[in-house]
Structure 1
Amino acid sequence: MRKVVYSCLVLSTLTLAGCTLPKMVKMSKDQQLTVTPNPLEVHKDTVAFEMAANLPVKMLKKGTVYTVNSFYKYGDKELALDPIPFKAEDYPNSKTEQPKVTKSFSFAYQPAMKTGTLEVEGVASKGEKSKASPRLPVATGVITTSKLVKPVYFAAYAGHGYNNQEELVPVVIPDFIFEQGRSVLRTSEIKSPKGKQLDAFIASKNATRTVTITGTHSPEGAERINSKLSPDRAAEIEKFYRKEMKKYDYKGKADSIQFILKPVIQDWAQFKVELEAYTGISSEEKAEYLNIINGGGTFEDQEKQMKGLKTYKKIFKDVYPKLRTAKTEILVVKEKKTDAEISVLAKQVTQNSVSADTLSFEELMYAATLTPSLDEKAAIYEAATKKGSNWNAHNNLGAVYIAQAIENPSNAAALADKAQAQLDLAVKLNEAPEVHANLASVSLLKGNAYAAYTHASQALSAGLTGDNAAGVNGVKGATEIVKAQYAAAVSSESNATDNADNLFNKGLAQVLNKDYQNALTSFNEAISKNSNLAIAHYGAAVASARLGQADGVVSHLTEAVKTDPSLKEAALSDLEFAKFSATESFRNALK
């Protein structure tokens, strides 16, 4: 009897399952499946989306499970994604409320996945029994706009350290000494070593800019006498100097020399200097003079007080004469090689026809900036790397290799390796911001946007400035687009070098950041910089599409394919233009 009852129960259960599962599959036709975004989009080499699944009320039966299985089909391949299970026991109110689940999905993007379909199937199950629904498409293809990013490279040169501007070097002639109360330059002073030094200097006709002559006086004497002595002594040296220039036939050169006369009247500064150096009296006795000077009163009154000191005669004899002077300081133009001479010598250095010591390291580094030829720059910087361990020589040689890679894409891989070798040497010597800027470009040349971003960030945080900072901001902006950091990319590109590629990447980042109107502006600015940049027209067409501007889509695509016909095929399969692809104007634009 028990066997009969058990058999009946089993049969009843199977019959119930056999009826329940088909009903669930039938009811699943009313399920609501929403995919966001739709079409799918790739960002950071990943396709990520959310699926919201809402089941009809009363669909889940006791003891059943309904599973939503998702698949991405592309070509002859299929990628199975994680399921969304609905267990009846988890939804006790399913008779009156819709069971709802929102789940996030992601999968690694491959170029072949651009054209494909996201499909779902529902599977109703109870125990070992199951029933599947037909597959349904819920999203079509992948938008790949983020892949339009243009890799940007920049060669960051470090400073050469050479001052190619006019430099003035001071030449100081020992003080000419005058007799007390007089301003006549004595013959003994002219024939002294300092007089002969000044004569020899003038005779050599050095390129001179200024001659500054400071006339001074000793403290004794009335104010009217002292006020006249200082300027007269300075004027006496100027008179002698001009006389010598005439003797040595300066002609027009004399007119270019500026004489600056600086009379110093009733000033204790030089007296204090000489007093400090004087060893003829004690420090306590020196303090007596300083107390008088610091005590206030007129210059003449102070000098009268000094006369009452017991050491005054020694000071008058030994210190005062040193204050009756004319000091001469001449600013002459430092002798330098001309740019032409430096260029010629640098080329000879690279050819080993003259010694590398013919030019200083700084002159050699400067020479590289005087030629537009990258090959010549490379030869000069290579010679500079042999003049000691200088990080900037290795950095700049690496920078030249980057510049050559930019000009010769077909040989970029080999040039990137050469640049890497030099920059590895440079960074060991000095982790300078320019080195990290170049390592950013090398990393991007090698396809590693993440390493490029790290180096670019290091370069900027280390204080990179000027054109180099603008250049590396362009590199950083490109890597931030790859990393899907679109707002940061807009910021970087806004501070980047003002060229077409950076403006294009700025527009692309703005599109991806959903700032479509400003993106259009950036793309148009890129086009104004380079009217042959077809991808900028293509980007403008994408921005127009997202704004719903059909005329903009057509006009920009027309220009894009006119310049680069290969973009026709890209546009035809680009889901950005799905809403416009059936229109006659769109088809005409891509004929």
Structure 2
Amino acid sequence: IWTATPNPLEVHGDVVEVTIEGEFPPKYFEQGAAMYVTPVLRYEGGAVAYDAFTVKGEDVAGDGMVVKYKEGGTITFTGTVPYSPDLNASELFLVPIIYSAKEGTLPTEEEVLNSGKYYIIPDVKVDDGVIHTSKYILNNELAAISYHAYKKETLASSSAKIFFLVNRYNLNWRVPLNKLDANKEKLAGVNEFLALGWKIKDIEITGWASPEGEELFNRDLSESRSTTAHNYMIKEMKKIAKQEGSCLKIECPKDEVNWDITWQGPDWDGFMTAVENSALTDKRAILNVIKSADQANREEEIRNMILIYPEIEDDLLPPLRKATITVNCYEPKRTDEQIMAYGLAHPDSLKINELLYAATFYDNEVDQLAIYLSAIELYPKCYRAYNNAGEVLIRMGDYEDALVMLIDAEELKPDDGAITNNFGVLACHVGDYENAEEFFFEAQEQGINVDYNLGVLAILDGDYAAAQKLTGTPDCNHNTGLLQLLNKDYDAAQKTFECAPADALTYYLLAITGARQDNAQLMLENLMMAIEMDPELKIEAMYDREFLNYFDLPEFVAIVQ
């Protein structure tokens, strides 16, 4: 008695494996006999053979599986053949030849037939066709889009300082540092920035004091200096708002602006940095004295040093008696609607990040590609535009042009993980899975998460456990459902397919899910939907061994005829 497992056969990876078991009753297999068995898959127009195996009696020398005469016995053989679609509608036969093997077993069919003492037993059918459901995988590997880097909110700032005399907080433009042209330009720059009329986020004002004074006094002094700067800015903003050509629209700056006013007391960090950068010959000793002194004595130590090093008072301390002013504004931006429209109609009016951002508003590949091609024309050194155009062309099935785009992207940005990943995705779409895997591993080394893509390849290799771990089984994903189906988790597969994109292949796999659960209604309803969307699936289903048990069912026959 011969049996084959699985029945029907199944393709996993790129091979069709079969396990054949032969059961021989007692006193059946002669002690000096041997049987040469060739498993053959026959299909219309051809055949493919597994490796042959030999069964022999207990007195026969040579290779083979022994069956004892008195007891009988069971033998097991496992073999594989490469898969091809021709095998889908095939039948597995065993071709046994019994021969006298007094001289030992013979290794080939030709030698057996030339031995002169043989008997060809009628072929035995043991299996029916090859289930190829694992080949319904989608090349939905995740391509990598280069980030547009557009920021919907960008802050711009302008800063200046007001300086004060020692222990004073009144505004005095005769202070030497205030009279410097560089400082005047900074203050004028703040006014010009405000005159642009950009939306003000806030205005930061911070008061400081030089550290030679008493701590509490310096704290109050720095607060007064920040107040002086605050009042100064209120007056300036009122003036700017009234100037001809000014875009600043404000009536009461004190109430309409978000003021961030702080005071920090003595600027110890500024003093230490000034000493470090100075030309003082004993600056290391000065720094060590300040660092080693306790909080209460540091001010006194500085006052003592001023007597020895007058340049401390002349050069280092005056810049610390200040109030800093920083105006933070939101840079004007186009609305999303404008960027979207300009992306197609006026791409030359957009910056590169705006162009790449514009493409994200469109769902169809034609518009996306048009924007990326405009970006390439306007910004030919932008590798991101080439990479993203390549990704769109892959989705459009234009693999030749996609390759050109990715090559150009790589020339501009070698060793970029997103580009390398997309080379792998492209390789998958053209069936070059070996190189695809190499690209994905390289992209992984370059910092890209390629787990899902490697998981898809694991499905193709028949390693479903690794595939499930790598893909993470995302919800409503075609390949997730296929993986669940192959792992015989039929309830989960059904739920996944039912929420996956409703295309012909999804309905077809739902029909298979129903067939495997002996749910004829689920099978028939979804098979009908699949064929309505893709009539070519009619012939596919007619020979698909997933539906073997329904080949004679009238309702099934009516659908596939």
Give the TM-score band, short-chain normalised: 0.7 to 0.9
**CA deviation map 1:453-510 (0-9, x unaligned):** 4434543554335xxx6xx82x5444333322222333344355x55xxx23222222
2:294 to 293, 296, 306: 296
Partner AA of 2:21 in structure 1: A
Matched, 1:510 2:484: yes
| Distance (whole Å) between structure 2 residues aligned to residue 141 and residue 303 of structure 1 | 95
Deviation string for 1:415-445 (max 9, x for gaps)?
1011112223333542322113322332222
Instruction: Select 1:247's aligned residue among 235, 239, 243.
Output: 239
Q: 1:505 to 1:245 in 2, by over 3 A?
A: same
Corresponding residue for residue 109 of structure 1: 83
Q: Which of 441, 445, 466 is the equivalent residue of 2:425?
A: 441
Quote the offset at 1:93 in angstroms: 7.1
How far off is 1:246 after superposition? 0.9
Cα distance 1:277–1:508, how it changes in 2: closer, same or farther (>3 A)? closer
- Offset from partner CA, 1:154-190 (integer Å, 9 cap, x none): 54321234x33332233232x4222233221124357
Q: Name the counterpart of 1:22.
A: none
Q: Which residue of 1 aligns with 2:187?
A: 198
CA contact (8 A) 1:66 1:123 kept: yes
Higher mean alpha-carbon deviation, 535-544 vs 231-240, is at: 535-544
Task: List alignment gaps of at least 5 residues for structure 2.
Answer: 101-114, 242-247
What is the one-letter code of the residue matched to 1:265?
G
Q: Residue type matched to 2:510 in 1?
A: A
Structure 1 counterpart of 2:159: 172
Structure-2 residue corresponding to 1:11: none
CA contact (8 A) 1:364 1:384 kept: yes
> How far off is 1:291 after superposition?
1.9
Q: Choose from 121, 131, 138 the match for 2:119.
A: 131
1:273 aligns with 2:265: no
> Does residue 415 of structure 2 align to residue 431 of structure 1?
yes
Matched residue, 1:209: 201
The equivalent residue for 1:381 is: 372
Is the Cα contact below 8 Å between 2:386 and 2:406 reproduced in 1? yes
Q: In the TM superposition, what is the alpha-carbon distance from 1:242 to its structure 2 partner?
A: 1.0
CA distance in 1, matches of 2:381, 2:529: 52
Report percent identity of matched pairs. Answer: 27
Contact 2:208 2:264 in 1 (8 A): yes
Alpha-carbon distance, 1:370 to partner: 5.6
Aligned residue identity for 1:263: W
Instruction: Please show how residues 325-404 of structure 1 align to structure 2 within 5 Å.
Output: 325-334=322-331, 361-369=352-360, 374-375=365-366, 377-382=368-373, 384-385=375-376, 387=379, 389-403=381-395
- Could you say if the C-alpha distance between residues 312 and 58 of structure 1 is closer, same or farther in structure 2, counting changes exceeding 3 Å? same
Structure with the larger helix share: 1
Shift of 1:41: 2.0
Comparing 269-278 and 431-440, the one that deviates more: 269-278
Residue of structure 1 equivalent to 2:106: none
2:22 is the counterpart of 1:33: no
Q: Report the alpha carbon displacement of residue 516 of structure 1 after superposing the two structures with TM.
A: 2.6
| Distance in 2 of aligned mates of 1:511 and 1:54 | 32
Alpha-carbon deviations, 1:248-294, whole Å to 9, x = none?
22443745533222222245333333334444x5316x735752563
Change (3 A) 1:188 1:556: same
**Correspondence for 2:494 among 490, 505, 520:** 520
Displacement, 1:525? Answer: 2.8
The correspondence for 1:464, drawn from 448, 455, 461, is 448
Tell me how far apart the structure 1 counterparts of residues 533 and 338 of structure 2 sit (CA, whole Å). Answer: 46
CA distance in 2, matches of 1:42, 1:554: 24
Q: Partner residue of 2:132?
A: 144
Q: Distance in 1 between matches of 2:440 and 2:132?
A: 25
The correspondence for 2:92, drawn from 102, 115, 118, is 118
Aligned to 1:287: 285
Output the CA distance in 2 between the equivalents of 1:318 and 1:115: 95
Within a 5 Å distance, the mapping from 1:553-568 to structure 2 comes to 553-561=523-531, 563-568=533-538
Residue type matched to 1:419 in 2? Answer: A
Q: What pairs with 1:59-70 in structure 2 (closer than 5 Å)?
A: 59-61=28-30, 63-70=32-39
Alpha-carbon distance change, 196 to 457 in structure 1, aligned in 2, over 3 angstroms: closer
| Matching of residue 494 in structure 1 with residue 486 in structure 2 | no
Aligned-partner SS, 1:69: strand
1:226, distance to aligned residue in structure 2 (A): 3.4
> Is 2:45 the counterpart of 1:54?
no
**Distance of 1:275 and 1:76 partners within structure 2:** 93
Distance 1:186 1:70 in 2: 104
The 2-side partners of 1:149 and 1:219 are apart by 73
Whole-Å separation in 2 of the counterparts to 1:561 and 1:93? 51
1:185 to 144, 167, 171: 171
Contact 2:29 2:67 (C-alpha < 8 Å) held by counterparts: no
Deviations 1:21-48 (A, max 9, x none): xxxxxxxxxxx21211122222334322
CA distance, structure 2, for counterparts of residue 584 and residue 377 of structure 1: 48
**How do 1:217-256 residues align onto structure 2 when only pairs under 5 Å count?**
217-219=209-211, 225-249=217-241, 250-252=248-250, 254=253, 256=256
Alignment-derived partner of residue 264 in structure 1? 264
Which residue of the partner structure matches residue 158 of structure 1? 146
Partner of 1:417: 400
Range that drifts further, 101-110 or 382-391: 382-391
Displacement of 1:562: 5.2
Q: Is the 8 A contact 1:545 1:553 kept in 2?
A: yes
- The 2-side partners of 1:200 and 1:585 are apart by 83
Give the Cα–Cα distance (whole angstroms) in 1 for the partners of residues 409 and 233 of structure 2: 52
In 2, Cα distance between equivalents of 1:80 and 1:97: 31
**Does the CA contact (< 8 Å) of 2:211 and 2:266 recur in 1?**
yes
- Distance in 2 between the 1:224 and 1:581 partners? 96
CA distance in 1, matches of 2:186, 2:93: 97
8 Å CA contact retained: 2:55, 2:67? no
Higher mean displacement: 437-446 or 372-381: 372-381
Counterpart AA for 1:167? T
In 1, the alpha carbon distance for the partners of 2:302 and 2:417 equals 62
Conserved 8 A contact 1:289-1:306: no
Structure 1 pair 339–188 and aligned structure 2 pair: CA distance change class (3 A): farther
Of 572, 576, 586 in structure 1, the residue corresponding to residue 546 of structure 2 is 576
Within the candidate set 510, 517, 541, 1:540 is matched to: 510
Alpha-carbon separation, structure 1, partners of 2:35 and 2:351: 81
